[in-house]
Amino acid sequence: MLIPETLQRAIDELSKLPSIGRKSAQRLALHILKSEVVDVQNLSDSLIDLKEKTKVCEKCFNISEEVVCDICKSEKRDKSLICVVEEISDVIAVERTNEFSGLYHVLGGVLSPLSGKDAESLNINELLARVKNGNISEVILALNPDTEGETTSLYLAKLLKQYNIKVTRLARGLPIGGDLEFTDEATIGRAVLNRIQL
Amino acid sequence: MLIPETLQRAIDELSKLPSIGRKSAQRLALHILKSEVVDVQNLSDSLIDLKEKTKVCEKCFNISEEVVCDICKSEKRDKSLICVVEEISDVIAVERTNEFSGLYHVLGGVLSPLSGKDAESLNINELLARVKNGNISEVILALNPDTEGETTSLYLAKLLKQYNIKVTRLARGLPIGGDLEFTDEATIGRAVLNRIQL
């Protein structure tokens, strides 16, 4: 097949992105071909900028444009509360709820022997140091509710206990807007166990 | 929510692409954040190159890196056959079959009064000029099998008849690997009408 090399290269590069297959990559490339030069330049610049201008906050490991991120710097944040999450995307997810006004700590993953993630490769020592040095009253473990997330939560809870602080983790139960009929047994089971008096 | 501006801008730019929503754009942006600088640079360069180095073939309006595309220039192609398609992506689709060795003509759309596409805005006059001047024996109309595609095919067939050439269009029938039970009535109806003696 006679596809020009520049088109083939763009398709190849686009299909390296997660959840973009060959067909989607081709559609995106042909869309870019039809776009204005300035739009393509904007897209391209924004990706380069994202990579070059952002770093990781030295306190909480969240994405930041400066050494310390906006959340850690903010005067409005409750600095005695730390919410521990796996990834930067989880910070965005929790921030979107507007229910949390403390600080974050991005672990960079969870304990997973199979994928070679051990305690050393996560930002656990940095978390302990923050708890030790700061005036922290509570650490909320907001890891994913799967086996690895639960294991890591238990591991962290054990480590954090020595500092005499409150350690909590997110509630398990029925998702809002969900349907009891289509909810899995494990979730319903947890919801029954953790039922709340009205 | 406190998302750094560079991240927000990358998400905004990515979500302008077709079939990329806010959530996908965020996932792509966070993936790019974790990628190597050289990979992001490659992606970015390939998009800019695609836009800057490619043009449209002056003969058939297919994508090309030169004034005339590789297919039009090729010695191996049957220059008496023209396959008319809507978009550049359709050229790629037909090329992938390896069943066609003639030339192409990209219309740039189909007649569609609702979206303001009339005969003037398509490459119809250029097609007629090619048929008039070249040694064309057959024009294959390979437009999409929907109402607008069919209408445009009939319109083109009428125009092309004056040049005393064979005008054909792609067969309609059951898709290979399809399931009779789940095929729509219109398709089965066409397949019955166009049945072939064994």
Task: Please report the pLDDT score of residue B134 as a whole number.
Answer: 79
B104: phi then psi, degrees, rounded to nearest 5:
-115, 165
At A185, the pLDDT band (50, 70, 90 cuts) reads: confident
Nearest CA in chain A to B97: A1
Report the distance separating Cα A48 and Cα B130, nearest Å.
44
Q: Taking CB atoms and an 8 Å cutoff, what residues of chain A touch B64?
A: 4
Report the distance separating Cα B19 and Cα B31, nearest Å.
18
Quick check: B121 and B108 in contact, CB under 8 A? Answer: yes
DSSP A64-131: ESSSS-HHHH-TTS-TTEEEEESSHHHHHHHHHHT---SEEEE-SS--BGGGTB-GGGTTHHHHHHHH
ipTM of the complex: 0.80
Average pLDDT of the residues of chain A: 91
* Topology of the domain covering A75-169: Dna Topoisomerase Vi A Subunit; Chain: A, domain 2 (3.40.1360)
Task: Please report the pLDDT score of residue B1 as a whole number.
Answer: 53
Q: How many CA atoms lie within 13 A of A134 on its CB side?
A: 20
Of B43, B54, B65, which has the smallest distance from its Cβ to A13's Cβ? B43
Report the distance separating Cα B24 and Cα B154, nearest Å.
41
* Topology of the domain covering B5-53: Helicase, Ruva Protein; domain 3 (1.10.8)
Nearest CA in chain A to B55: A33
Quick check: B140 and B166 in contact, CB under 8 A? Answer: no
Residues of chain A with CATH 1.10.8.420: 5-53
Mean pLDDT of A178-190: 86
A129-179 tens-digit pLDDT: 999 987 899 999 999 999 999 999 999 999 999 999 999 999 888 888 888
Which of the residues B50, B52, B100 would you substitute to probe the A interface, choosing the one with the greatest number of A C-beta atoms within 10 Å?
B50
Residues of chain B with CATH 3.40.1360.10: 75-169
A48-80 tens-digit pLDDT: 999 999 989 999 999 999 999 999 999 999 999
A80-102 tens-digit pLDDT: 999 999 999 999 999 988 889 99
Nearest to B10 by CA among A47, A63, A18: A47
Query: Residue A12: is its pLDDT beyond 90?
Result: yes
Task: Please report the pLDDT score of residue A127 as a whole number.
Answer: 96
Name B103's bridge partners: B82
Residue numbers of chain B with a pLDDT score lower than 70 = 1-2
The C-alpha of A41 sits at a distance from chain B's nearest C-alpha, in angstroms, of 7
Quick check: A175 and A163 in contact, CB under 8 A? Answer: no
Q: Whole-model pTM?
A: 0.79
